[in-house]
Structure formats: structure tokens, C-alpha cells
């Protein structure tokens, strides 16, 4: 893996040298600008990325200083993210099948077990593990069965031994069995050892309900503020989709970025909006929007409770527990300035929100933090979607929360930069 990153960094350094030469007043030949474009393409940067537009403006204009400064800013930030990823990748192997690291061998064992076990036998193994937990740790058993209703968005149940339904077990087995190739791709494309260990911890939890590995690895995460992954800058535009009460914005501003340019918050609950405005009243340039986010501009219904509750969600259906109608927007249509950091925690509308921001993503390459625990298959579908939108992103996986917060399913977050 390190050899691949050395090649990528060599390409980035060559572009950097050309930009420095131009900055020093050196006349850069047309073919060198073309080489820069080809080098960026070789890094899989999306063809709509603003850097291509700016290169054309700089090389064709006699008065291009402002365009050059903007090009330099976007390139430097991409360079910084790639340099961090290169450093983080130094302890992971290019091919997990080599078994170079213990995490590779562990992942290989999980893949072998999933490949060689049919769904029915996998379900039996999971139920046997659950039965042992009911005997050896009844408190934990109660926590993950009868005390954990309400966290899922796919009507998955875990009634326990002799219970009416254990559809959670069945659907975990199906999700694993149907996504072996995707799981292998994700493991090989995660950018650091913590990410790979986090995926292993999750697979172990799905297969055995063993919680210690993911509880131990979870200490490495601090919500959206992870300076080992994300470089932060002045004048950032931070967009918080699923703002709840504004707590993530407060953490972001107080911890790493008091010099942001603007913040946009989105939430679907009127009660949440009231608290967001109160909690962020002392901050400047805050745009509070009582809207949902998705891949179409429409109206949906808020389903849940008439409170500021992090489990409220949007549905198309009507009936009991419908609180209010909510406008749903595409971020590409609703925000005109370039987004530099996009956080998504939309209670099941996460992929739709990502698709609705595709133009921002492809043009401006914002940092992305996306919670991906709301649906089982989000484990594999979220990183695949990010890669489809822009294959130049580097991917990380974190488990940010602890057992009391998500007793049945660790909260997962994919980070892309």
C-alpha cells in the first residue's frame, strides 16, 4: 500500500512544483499545464472538479492572479488530505490476503467463514452465541433484546431465545452473504489500520454479539472532529444535515474551527429548530433551515415524537405518529456557495442526501462525515456510493459511540477526504 501512496505523492509533488514555478513568475509552457491536467486525472479526481476549470482560466488569461490563488487553495487542501492519508496508510497492507498484519488475517477468517457458511447455518451460529450470552451475561442479553427497540429503520427485531422474531439475525446473515465482494473491496480501500480494525470489530459483533472489540476501538473517535483524518482551515463552509440540537456545530466550532466562513444546519423537527437557534445564538453566520435533505425537492412527513429527538425520521406515508409536513431539498439546489465540510446523519435518508449533494462533491471535493448505521446494507453501500460520486476520495471507518447509545448496533461513521 505504501508503494502506491509514494507514487501518488510523487504526482502531487510534481504538480506542486509547477504551481510554485508559476507563482515565482516562470513562464509555464502549455504542455506543462496539460501534464498537470493529466496528472490530476490520474489521481481519479472527478472531471467536474473546479481545479480543471481554474487551470484553463489560469493558462488562458493574462490577468489570472485571483484564479491562480483559488487553484492553489483547492490544490493545497487536496494535497494536505492526501498527505494525511499517505501517512495513515503506512501500517496497512496492499492486499489483505498476504496476511502481513493480524487484522488482515482476522478479516480473512471472517470472509472465509461467511463464504463457506450458508445463511441458515450462519443464523444458527448467531443464535447459539446469543444463547450463551443469555446464560453468561443476562444483563447484556436484556440490553440487546427487550431494551433496545426503536433504534432500527427496517423493522428488525431481536426478541431473543424462544422469541417471536429474530429478523435482525436473519437480515445480518443475508447482508453479509450477499456483499462479500463489497466487503473485500471496502477493507482493501480503507485508509488506515483503525478503520480496518473497526470493520473487523463490527463483523465480529454481527456474527457473535461480542462487544469488547468495538467498545475498545470506539475510543479512537470524537464525532466529526478527527484531526488525524481531516485537515481544517479558516473560511470553511460547514453543513450539518441532521443537526438535532446543534451540538455537533458547537463541538466543531469550539474544538477546531472558530474562523469558519458559514454554517448551515438542517433538521426536520420544529422543536429541534427552536433549540438549535437557542444553542447557536452566540455564533455568527449560522443558517438554520427547517428542512430535510434528500435527492429530490419534495415534501415528506416527520414520523416520531413531537420533541427534539434524534430518532425522528421522514416518511412518505401517513398515519399515527405523523408530527408535521417538512420540505425536503437537494443541497445542490439549496446552497449556492461551495461546501467544504459535509456532515450527514439523516436517520435513513443518508444516501439520498449524499446524492442530492453530488454536484458540490464532484466540483468542490468537501470533507464528508456520514453516519452509516441506520440500515444494515449502509455498511457497504455508503462507501461504494462515495466512490461512485468521486473515486479520488480516501475512506475511513470509525465507531464513534458506546454501548449505552446503541446497544444493538454500534454507530458507524464513514469519513471521506
Q: Domain spans of the chain?
A: 2-91, 98-220, 237-371
Percent helix, percent strand, percent coil in the chain, to nearest 5: 50, 15, 35
- DSSP E strands: which ranges in 26-151? none
Report the interhelical angle of 65-88 vs 2-23 (nearest 10°).
160
- The residues, any chain, with a CB within 8 Å of residue 79's CB and separated by 6 or more, are 12, 16
Report which DSSP code applies to 226. -
Which pLDDT score, from 0 to 100, does residue 347 have? 84
CATH architecture of 237-371: 3-Layer(aba) Sandwich (3.40)
Q: What is the CA angle 113-119-125, rounded to 5?
A: 65
Which pLDDT score, from 0 to 100, does residue 310 have? 76
| Residue 174 to residue 305: CA distance in whole angstroms | 31
Which pLDDT score, from 0 to 100, does residue 63 have? 60
| Residue 200 to residue 291: CA distance in whole angstroms | 36
Report which DSSP code applies to 268. S
Report the interhelical angle of 102-115 vs 180-189 (nearest 10°).
170
Residues of the chain with pLDDT under 50: 221
Q: What is the CA angle 120-123-129, rounded to 5?
A: 145
pTM of the model: 0.93
Which pLDDT score, from 0 to 100, does residue 120 have? 97
Cα separation values, 208 from 130, 217, 381, Å = 7, 17, 23
Amino acid at each position: 500500500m505504501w508503494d502506491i501512496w509514494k507514487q501518488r505523492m510523487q504526482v502531487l509533488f510534481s504538480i506542486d512544483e509547477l504551481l510554485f514555478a508559476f507563482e515565482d513568475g516562470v513562464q509555464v509552457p502549455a504542455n506543462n499545464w496539460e501534464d498537470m491536467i493529466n496528472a490530476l486525472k490520474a489521481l481519479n479526481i472527478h472531471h467536474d472538479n473546479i481545479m480543471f476549470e481554474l487551470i484553463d482560466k489560469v493558462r488562458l488569461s493574462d490577468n489570472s492572479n485571483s484564479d491562480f490563488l483559488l487553484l492553489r487553495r483547492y490544490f493545497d487542501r487536496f494535497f494536505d488530505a492526501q498527505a494525511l492519508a499517505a501517512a495513515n496508510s503506512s501500517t496497512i497492507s496492499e492486499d489483505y490476503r498476504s496476511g502481513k498484519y493480524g487484522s488482515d488475517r482476522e478479516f480473512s477468517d471472517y470472509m472465509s467463514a461467511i463464504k463457506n457458511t450458508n445463511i441458515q447455518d450462519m443464523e444458527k451460529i448467531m443464535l447459539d452465541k446469543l444463547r450463551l450470552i443469555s446464560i453468561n451475561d443476562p444483563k447484556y442479553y436484556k440490553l440487546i433484546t427487550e431494551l433496545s427497540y426503536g433504534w432500527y429503520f427496517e423493522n428488525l427485531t431481536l426478541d431473543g431465545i424462544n422469541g417471536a422474531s429474530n429478523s435482525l439475525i436473519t437480515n445480518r446473515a443475508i447482508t453479509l452473504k450477499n456483499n462479500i465482494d463489497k466487503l473485500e473491496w471496502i477493507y482493501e480501500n480503507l485508509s488506515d489500520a483503525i478503520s480496518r480494525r473497526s470493520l473487523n470489530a463490527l463483523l465480529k459483533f454481527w456474527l457473535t454479539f461480542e462487544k469488547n472489540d468495538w467498545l475498545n476501538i470506539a475510543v479512537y473517535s470524537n464525532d466529526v472532529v478527527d484531526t488525524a483524518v481531516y485537515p481544517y482551515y479558516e473560511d470553511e463552509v460547514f453543513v450539518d444535515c441532521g443537526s438535532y440540537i446543534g451540538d455537533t456545530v458547537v463541538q466543531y466550532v469550539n474544538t477546531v474551527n472558530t474562523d469558519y466562513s458559514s454554517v448551515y444546519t438542517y433538521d426536520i423537527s420544529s422543536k429541534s429548530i427552536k433549540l438549535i437557534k437557542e444553542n447557536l445564538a452566540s455564533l455568527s453566520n449560522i443558517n438554520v433551515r427547517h428542512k430535510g435533505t434528500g435527492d429530490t425537492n419534495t415534501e415528506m412527513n416527520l414520523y416520531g415524537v413531537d420533541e427534539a429527538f434524534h430518532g425522528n425520521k421522514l416518511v412518505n406515508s401517513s398515519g399515527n405518529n405523523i408530527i408535521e409536513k417538512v420540505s425536503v431539498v437537494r443541497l445542490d439546489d439549496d446552497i449556492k456557495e461551495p461546501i467544504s465540510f459535509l456532515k450527514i446523519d439523516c436517520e435513513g435518508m443518508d444516501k439520498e442526501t449524499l446524492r442530492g449533494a453530488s454536484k458540490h462533491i464532484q466540483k468542490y471535493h468537501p470533507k464528508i462525515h456520514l453516519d452509516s448505521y441506520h440500515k444494515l446494507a449502509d455498511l457497504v453501500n455508503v462507501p461504494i456510493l462515495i466512490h461512485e460520486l468521486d473515486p479520488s476520495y480516501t475512506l475511513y471507518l470509525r465507531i464513534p459511540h458506546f454501548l449505552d447509545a446503541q446497544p444493538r448496533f454500534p454507530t458507524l461513521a464513514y469519513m471521506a477526504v
